[in-house]
Amino acid sequence: MIDDATRFADAVFADGAAERGRAAGMLRAEMTAERHSPGWKDEALEWVRRYALANEGFHCEEVLLMAASFGFVAPASPRAWGPVMTLAAKQGYVLSQGPRKKRSAGSHQTPAVWWKSLIYRGEPRQAPDSAPTLKEEVAR
C-alpha cells in the first residue's frame, strides 16, 4: 500500500528537489561565511590542498581541526566547507570516496564523505605560511 508520505517522497526526489535543496543550502552557507570572513574560502581551499599533500585520505572535519590548530578561523557552520571540498575536487586535489564513519570521538562514528587525496606526497603537515605555495610546487 502506498501512503501519502511515500507519494510525497517520490515526487520530491523525482524532480531533483533534493539536489536543488542541497545546492541552495551549500550556497547559503558559503555566502554567509564569506559575509562574515571575506576571502576565507581561498584560505580554506589552501588548507585542504596542504592536508591532501600529507594524507592519503581524510574527512573534511580533520582539515578543519588541523587548520584551527594553526589559528585559522573558520565560519561558524561546518557546512560552509561543503563548497570548499567541492572546489577542491574540481581542482583535482581530492576525490569523494563516499561515506565512511568519522574517526573523532565526538562524532560517534557518524558517516561523512571520505576524501581520497589525488596529490598525496606524504609531506609533513605545515602551517600555510611555511609551506610552499602551489606556484612554488609547480616550479619544482
pLDDT in tens, 52-103: 999 999 999 999 999 999 999 888 788 889 999 999 999 999 999 999 988 7
16 Cβ neighbours under 8 A, 6+ residues apart: none
Helix extents (H) in the chain: 4-14, 17-36, 40-54, 60-69, 81-90, 134-139
Residues constituting the chain: 140
Phi, psi of 133 (to 5 degrees): -75, 165
> How confident is the model at residue 105, as a pLDDT?
76
Cell triple for 52: 591532501
Cell triple for 132: 610552499
Higher pLDDT, 4 or 1: 4
pTM, 2 dp? 0.70
Distance CA 100, CA 102 (A): 6
Distance CA 35, CA 53 (A): 29
> How confident is the model at residue 22, as a pLDDT?
67
DSSP 53-72: HH-SEEEHHHHHHHHHHTT-
57 Cβ neighbours under 8 A, 6+ residues apart: 97, 114, 115, 116, 117
Cell triple for 4: 501519502
| pLDDT level of residue 106 (50, 70, 90 thresholds) | confident
> How confident is the model at residue 128, as a pLDDT?
45
pLDDT tens-place string over residues 14-66: 667 777 776 777 777 777 767 877 888 999 999 999 999 999 999 999 999 99
